[in-house]
Copies of this chain bind each other. A is one copy, B any other.
Amino acid sequence: MRVIADLCVVPLGTGVSVSSYVAEAEKILKKRGLSPRLHAYGTNLEGEWEEVMDGIREVHERLHQMGVPRITSNMRFGTRTDREQTGADKIRSVEEKM
């Protein structure tokens, strides 16, 4: 089951600046082949269900190892059985109608 997701990771207890943790998350997701595409309030990613969830787990584990005591994440994730679709397909589909 393929999943297209959008993840926003928020480290708590480490001050107002979170960009170094977000950068680390991007590196992990990229290394795992989940095609992260960073935007201003999260990152798109996609892959097989297990791969995506395991990647996000590594992000939480790694940030805790870096000293973050608490993490609250927010994720949108979609699956469909009617047809195959990538994140790039979704964007193209909207842009054609604009």
Contact = CB atoms under 8 A, between A and B. Distances in A.
Interface in A12-49: 12-13, 15-20, 22-23, 26-27, 37-42, 44, 46, 49
Contacts of A46: 40
Question: Chain A contact residues (Cβ within 8 angstroms of B): what range?
Answer: 35 or more
A72 to B, nearest CB: 4
B64 A73 contact: no
A13 B64 contact: no
Contacts of A95: 23, 38
Contacts of A74: 8, 74-76
Determine chain A's interface SS by DSSP, over half rule. Answer: mixed
Contacts of A18: 12
A91 B42 CA distance: 9
Contacts of A77: 72-73, 75
Nearest to A39: B39
A88 B42 CA distance: 13
